Amino acid sequence: MDGNGRWAQARGLPRTMGHRRGVDAVHGAVRAAGDLGIRYLTLFAFSSENWRRPAQEVTELMGLLKLFIRRDLAELHREGVRVKVIGARDNLASDIRGLLEEAEHLTRDNKETTLVIAFNYGAREELARATRRIADKIALGEASPEDVTPEFMDSHMDTAGIPDPDLIIRTSGEMRLSNFLLWQSAYSEFVFMPCLWPDFDRKAFEDALNEYSSRDRRYGGLSREIAS
């Protein structure tokens, strides 16, 4: 969800206004995902590197997440959305941790779209967390080094049980992954769009999906036409 700051700056507004409009785009994207039959939607809401931003901006982003959960959780629940949060919890304020846990707990049995919120998330940190979980099991004799397969790694990531992303969309014209789902994106398709996140509407979402449908996913094999 990149480009909130630039969206605001282009209008002579403070960056925080861009984040507020970014939350409106989040609502639109969650609704569109449900309508379009997308079962898993992951939003990169706050990275482990975003703590380096000015304190006022960090406070604003924390406040927007709290507001989103307090104000919209009931509606998400009514619509059958299951909320799952990935990222580190230990260095978050206890009220945010509590809200994230409440959102996950309340919606845990919902069966429509799963909304994965990557909050205080960094892929390298996630890989280190998974490695520590596995190392602890080995130290306790609950697993052996031979057990460590890609599937075993999968089941120790924050995303355990969530399928790898088919498509990763990055807005604002930046063309890099910025520490997002490094392990899970091995065979993802990427769509980089010039539009800034607050302008990401249903049309932009559908454009990205149309681009995705034209891709030939080979997973290291041959394309269907050549193989047949």
* Chain Cα centroid distance, residue 15: 21
Is the Cβ of residue 68 or residue 121 nearer to ligand FPP in the bound state? 68
Q: How far apart are CA 212 and CA 134, in angstroms?
A: 35
Q: How far is the CB of 64 from ligand FPP (least distance, A)?
A: 4
Q: Contact 218/87 with Cβ under 8 angstroms?
A: no
Among candidate residues 24, 50, 109, 136, the one labeled active-site is 50
Tokens, residue 94: 């206890």
Torsion angle, alpha carbons of 60, 64, 66, 72, to 10: 170
Q: Contact 129/158 with Cβ under 8 angstroms?
A: yes
Q: How far is the CB of 144 from ligand FPP (least distance, A)?
A: 39
Contacts with ligand FPP by CB under 6 A lie at: 1-6, 19, 22-23, 26, 43, 45, 50, 61, 64-65, 68, 117, 172
Is the Cβ of residue 17 or residue 157 nearer to ligand FPP in the bound state? 17
Catalytic residue check, 2:
yes
Is the Cβ of residue 85 or residue 130 nearer to ligand FPP in the bound state? 85
Q: How far is the CB of 4 from ligand FPP (least distance, A)?
A: 4
Is the Cβ of residue 63 or residue 209 nearer to ligand FPP in the bound state? 63
In DSSP notation, 48-101 reads: TTGGGS-HHHHHHHHHHHHHHHHHHHHHHHHTTPEEEEES--TTS-HHHHHHHH
Residue nearest ligand FPP (C-beta atom)? 5
Q: How far apart are CA 105 and CA 92, in angstroms?
A: 18
Catalytic residue check, 207:
no
Q: How far is the CB of 217 from ligand FPP (least distance, A)?
A: 28
Residues with a catalytic annotation lie at: 2, 50
